[in-house]
Amino acid sequence: MMSGGSVVILSLLKFLDVPTKIAIGTLKLTIAGLTLVSMLTYFKGGAVDVRIAPALTFSSLVGAVLGSAFFLSLPEKEANLLVAIFLTVGVYFTLKSKPKFKRNSQKLSRKAVPIIGFLIGFYIGILGVASTLIVIAALGLFFRLDMLKANGTAKMIIFVNNSIAALTYASKGSIDYHTALLILAPLLLGSWLGAKTALKMGDKKLKVVFAAIALLTALKLITELF
């Protein structure tokens, strides 16, 4: 849900003519709500790497706060342009195949952990589209986690970061709570129906659908620059 789902939610909000900053803030709130259950499930199942999760999460929080503050400080047109760029980057990771983890024979320096966490948080704070795939890829590449633990640890990082980012947006009045409540319940049902539909559609058709949605959203953001 989190990879293509964030694209769909953002697209829905933009086509409802929600201003970009409020759309991103509302996206953060809904994503936090959607990832809460999965994060708790992974944690209870022991699929969260408790060795690196605290340091990564803490450093990513700093990035999330700064990323959110930076984005909120931008004029609306510049914000639209930045989201269009980040959306394109995020969709690239969404359309790629799942990352194949290669075991690295060298251990990552402890000094690199907060840097990686900060960069992850900064990206999530600004937009966060395809954040699950990006974080999973980073955890597999730099920390040699298997897919299950990478996924569980990613869910924890994403939940905490989106929650903090949502608080930052809320402090600036950049969340549409009414819309968030209206779409959250259908999203929970829609995520289940979407998974069923996606299984029937197959990978190739699904990629075309997501690419089309992302392209239309990016075009709408660009047209708002003029």
Q: Which two tokens stand for residue 58?
A: 């803490």
Q: Which two tokens stand for residue 7?
A: 């694209």
Q: Are 11 and 213 in contact (CB under 8 A)?
A: yes
Least confident of 45-54, 104-113, 117-126, 211-220: 104-113
Burial of 204: CB neighbours in 10 Å, binned 0-12, 13-18, 19+: exposed
Give per-residue pLDDT as tens, 102-130. 544 345 556 788 898 998 888 888 877 66
Read off the pLDDT band of 203 (50, 70, 90): low
Integer Cα distance of 104 and 36 in angstroms: 31
Nearest to 68, CA basis, from 125, 129, 127: 125
Task: Tell me how crowded residue 105 is: count the other CB atoms within 10 A of its CB.
Answer: 6
Q: What's at 158, amino acid-wise?
A: I
pLDDT at 57 over 80: yes
Integer Cα distance of 217 and 1 in angstroms: 18
Integer Cα distance of 170 and 130 in angstroms: 22
pLDDT of residue 26: 94
Burial of 58: CB neighbours in 10 Å, binned 0-12, 13-18, 19+: middle
Burial of 132: CB neighbours in 10 Å, binned 0-12, 13-18, 19+: buried
Q: What is the pTM of this model?
A: 0.69
